[in-house]
Structure 1
Amino acid sequence: MDESAVIQVERLTRRYGGRPGYDAVRGIDFSVRRGELFALLGTNGAGKTSTLEVLEGLAQPTSGTVRVFGQDPYRDRRTVRPRIGIMLQDRGFAADLTVAETTKMWTGTLSTPRPVGEILELVDLRGRAATRVRQLSGGERQRLSLGLAIAGQPDLLFLDEPTAGLDPENRQNTWRLISQLLESGTTVLLTTHYLAEAAELADRLAIMHHGRIVGLGTPAEIAGIQPARISFHLMPGATLPDLPQAVATVTDSGKVLLDTEDLQLTLTTLLAWAATAGIHLADLTARPASLEEAFLAIAGSDPISEPTEGAVA
């Protein structure tokens, strides 16, 4: 057990319905380092929520060990809870309270809260302070939930789909706020269905599938599980040369698709051949594999398989 990690999870399982029952989490291991943003990804039903409930001290594991700040988040909840902030997608706000009243009521439960005005400024709701919660849009409720999660200046912040329902501008503003929190030393555990969000913000991530972690590493490491792609239209009559570490597919429209494990080497060889032969590669594009492609490939894997080879802790 690494006591220096903010979160340490070893062989965590969570079962519903006793024996026999349903294993929502099946023996997972991961850690979250101080000051990093760790993204927990997965399809619906993958076990993310069941894992978060244990980490947040809301439920006990069926087996395994979980430590938050070196303590059991369930048994030592009174000492762990003041140091964490939790953003849920639905907090059950009182509809007749204003935004300011809701925030003031929440800060009254905290030992070292931020001022109400500062909280509303951080989530761009100062102009809606006198508005009743029932009159807020879904995106505004989401921002209010984020404001309450950071109200106590937590050392560890759990964010469950923090940008769901937000327009692009407010999503960017939320990303900016999260980055500021990270710079101030806050550790963040994020769940999201926006893979671009995870790729942009996460230092490391884990992909869950049927209760297991099937991919673990940095966004680039996870994306690197899939090959890079080069595409172009080849002139009629031209024959491709032997390209290192690449597999070529030609579509019915004559478009060439090259999947490669070494994008730079394959692209360099291809361009040198085209220049020497005087061949024009129309509509040429080259791009590395994306996190989305890797996620879709992993999510479609055998649910009882081991973590994807090449993914690292």
Structure 2
Amino acid sequence: MAILDDCVLAADPGNVELVNAVGRRRITHVVHDVDGTHSLIREWPPVMSLVIHWAMMCGLEEDFDSQANAAALVERVGREPLPETDEFCIETAGLSALTQMEYGIRRAVELGNVPRAVYPVLTDARIEANADIVRRIRQGEERFDDVDEPPELAAFIGERAPRLFKLYENVLNAASRDRNVADARERPDRWRVPGSLAFLEHLHSIGCASYFVTGSVIYPDGGMQEEVRALGFETGPGKLVRSLEGSSWHRKMPKDEVMRDLCRREGVVPAEVLVIGDGRTEIRAGVEMGCVTISRLAEDAGRLRALHRELGTNYIVPDFTSPALGRLIRRE
């Protein structure tokens, strides 16, 4: 049986910041975010920032996601300051990608940058309801079933968001992701967060079942599956990571719902689950569920570290290299 005991940090915390003490607790399962927590392959924020900005400004006509537009966006990645969407991507890391795409489309509605066919349903009340959803997305919400929206607007967003998601993935692949995956196959250490593989091996050796949870789409031969393999993380029953849980092109899979479903499916007590991530979504969900949480944030990420402290995380680490982690979570 594995236990977590943060009393050991008093003598030598290493680079582990104790934010909210847990004391001593049994740990049976570990839920890990992937991007930014264990993997550095995607380098996604500048790409997503640009694609969301494009959605806000381009008019979202039928050809908004054309190959020509995708190619033009690839050339623009990282070349211009985009204050609103740059900040949005930093603050909303961990949200499902479809929700992030929805934000861009709803901002386009606010700005009036949508096809004329959408205009007739945009009454003042509908525009205010849309603005409320925009605010709620920025606060980390993903479900808005309580909002009464015209079917025409819901259908427009439901049709455009998956296409915008695919446009984002296409631009990401061409701008950085495919090149980085190829390099990761040759030099995986370069693209793993330091200490990541050894820490996962430690968790496996002491009997913890690890799961990767991502907002990206999971499909057999590419995408996140390919990235995880390139980094040397074996997945499957009895392996280092039991399964990779993700999203789909057309259906939101918020991480909090994935985590709760995982606990129900596996018959796991949330108090015995450790959640590790760099996004507020998984950390907030872990805190609300009563799990133990570790935020993986760089030492110079002052704003995000402050945000995660406000969320109630238990520990913050810059990476997984400190021997203190092996003492914090160990076999009893």
Task: Kindly indicate which of the two structures has a greater share of residues assigned to helix.
Answer: 2
Range of TM-score over shorter length: under 0.3
Mark the structure with the bigger radius of gyration. Answer: 1
TM-score by length of 1: 0.25
Task: Kindly indicate which of the two structures has a greater share of residues assigned to strand.
Answer: 1
